[in-house]
Amino acid sequence: MIEISYKNSKTLCVKNADKKEINFLFEDKKVLLEDFDVSHPGEYEKSWNLLEVKEYTDILFYKFLVDGKHLCIITADAFDLKEEIVSFFGDVDILIIIGTKDAVKIFENIEAKVVIPYGEGKDIFLNTLGQHSESVKIHKIGADLDGDRTEFVNLEA
């Protein structure tokens, strides 16, 4: 089971079944796989988590394989959605995306089963898509995800 919550007001934390952490410091746009900084392009593996970091138009994009689920982190809302970057995302189970009105266009081009916007504009992102879900402190993702619909999660910071 994957657990996603805020560690503090500036850090989103993803824990796998073994309680190994991926911490996303979104103000710094920095990702830590446990204590290892993976904020550089390349492929990484640590504690059974696989990660690929791609640099595209001076923006880093993160794609993880965590407990059999594909998780992507998108840190920007202003880039061209060309085939090169869309194909990098592939099938996305969990999408962590900056919460802005401009990010809605990006989300619409990526099919994801669970969408978690972050940042000050997350409510604008959710409202633009007509989503008014109650905020939760922790979101848990089990083995099976419904492939027919997208679940929007409003995490409480």
Reported pTM:
0.93
29 domain-assigned: no
48 domain-assigned: yes
75 domain-assigned: yes
Give the CATH number, domain containing residue 58. Answer: 3.60.15.10
20 domain-assigned: no
Total structural domains within the chain: 1
96 domain-assigned: yes
Q: Which domain holds residue 121?
A: 40-155
21 domain-assigned: no
E-assigned strands of 9-125?
11-15, 21-25, 30-33, 36-37, 42-46, 49-56, 59-66, 69-74, 92-98, 112-118
What is the chain's pLDDT, residue by residue, as a tens digit (157 residues)? 999 999 999 999 999 888 889 999 999 999 998 888 999 999 988 777 789 999 998 999 999 998 889 999 999 998 988 888 888 988 899 999 999 999 999 999 888 999 999 998 999 999 999 998 889 999 999 877 766 788 999 999 8
CA dihedral 128, 102, 118, 23 (to 10 degrees): 150
* 11, 26 Cβ separation under 8 angstroms: yes
